[in-house]
Chains A and B, each alone.
Chain A
Amino acid sequence: AQTVTQSQPEMSVQEAETVTLSCTYDTSESNYYLFWYKQPPSRQMILVIRQEAYKQQNATENRFSVNFQKAAKSFSLKISDSQLGDTAMYFCAHFSQGGSEKLVFGKGTKLTVNP
């Protein structure tokens, strides 16, 4: 069964600093996709970043980047120059073609950016 593990239930960071959220996953498939979603307090969940497993280059979206280590099955999210608006729950998710055919989410990391 595919699993996604986020080992940090809560994290905090000072405004303007950099923070890294951890995610590991388990799959026996070779073709899969990884995602980070953000859920701000009382607001809708939105996609932060998406990575295709066959692409070796790490995905980036402005201040958000990932460190994708395929052999280690690790997919961490780095937020640079943290802003107050980055305060949110962050969920790592994984989808394997040929696997369960479902998007599997981790339990989430609550990130607080302090002024």
Chain B
Amino acid sequence: DVKVTQSSRYLVKRTGEKVFLECVQDMDHENMFWYRQDPGLGLRLIYFSYDVKMKEKGDIPEGYSVSREKKERFSLILESASTNQTSMYLCASSLGLAGVNEQFFGPGTRLTVL
């Protein structure tokens, strides 16, 4: 079974802090994604990566950056956390052409920025 893990289930940070959210998948998937999930808004794509050291902006990249130094690991970075970044963050991975095949999701990190 594909396993996608995220470093924390719950995280509380202060405004202005630098925040790292880590995601690891164990099935050698090329593609990895970071989504933000807010009530009434569904899932919105922040960034995705289709290969090591490659990244593409999603629909809401402002205030975020990403890093993919190894194939299995995809990190989301909030350079200076703000209260409007309080949300649920979901990581996902997939094989082949991104979007064509099933995406496997992690359990999510619920981030609260005070």
| Min CB gap A23→B, angstroms | 12
Q: Is B113 an interface residue (CB 8 A)?
A: no
Q: Is B41 an interface residue (CB 8 A)?
A: yes
Task: Determine whether the beta carbon of A95 is less than 8 Å from that of B105.
Answer: no
Task: Determine whether the beta carbon of B99 is less than 8 Å from that of A105.
Answer: no
Residues of chain B within 8 A of A106, CB atoms compared: 42
A9 to B105, CA, bound (A): 22
Task: Determine whether the beta carbon of A101 is less than 8 Å from that of B105.
Answer: no
Given contacts A44-B105, A44-B106, A46-B105, contact A103 B45 (CB under 8 A): yes
Which bucket holds chain A's interface residue count? 10 to 19
Residues of chain B within 8 A of A91, CB atoms compared: 42-43
Please pick, from A101, A103, A107, the residue contacting B40 in the complex, using a CB distance under 8 A.
A107
Question: Would you give the 0/1 interface string for A88-115, flagging 1 where the beta carbon is closer than 8 Å to chain B?
Answer: 0001000101000111011110000000
Query: Please, how many residues of chain B have a CB less than 8 angstroms from a CB on the other chain?
Result: 23
Q: Is B81 an interface residue (CB 8 A)?
A: no
Q: Is A84 an interface residue (CB 8 A)?
A: no
A97 to B97, CA, bound (A): 9
CB under 8 Å from chain A, chain B span 1-31: 4
Task: Determine whether the beta carbon of A45 is less than 8 Å from that of B90.
Answer: yes
Task: Determine whether the beta carbon of B42 is less than 8 Å from that of A102.
Answer: no
Please pick, from A9, A47, A105, A107, the residue contacting B102 in the complex, using a CB distance under 8 A.
A47
Please pick, from B4, B43, B98, B100, the residue contacting A105 in the complex, using a CB distance under 8 A.
B43
| Min CB gap B59→A, angstroms | 7
CB under 8 Å from chain A, chain B span 49-105: 58-59, 90, 92, 97-100, 102-103, 105
Residues of chain A within 8 A of B41, CB atoms compared: 107
Please pick, from B44, B58, B100, B105, the residue contacting A97 in the complex, using a CB distance under 8 A.
B100
Given contacts A91-B42, A107-B40, A108-B42, contact A102 B58 (CB under 8 A): yes
Binding site for A on B (CB under 8 A): 4, 33, 40-45, 48, 58-59, 90, 92, 97-100, 102-103, 105-108
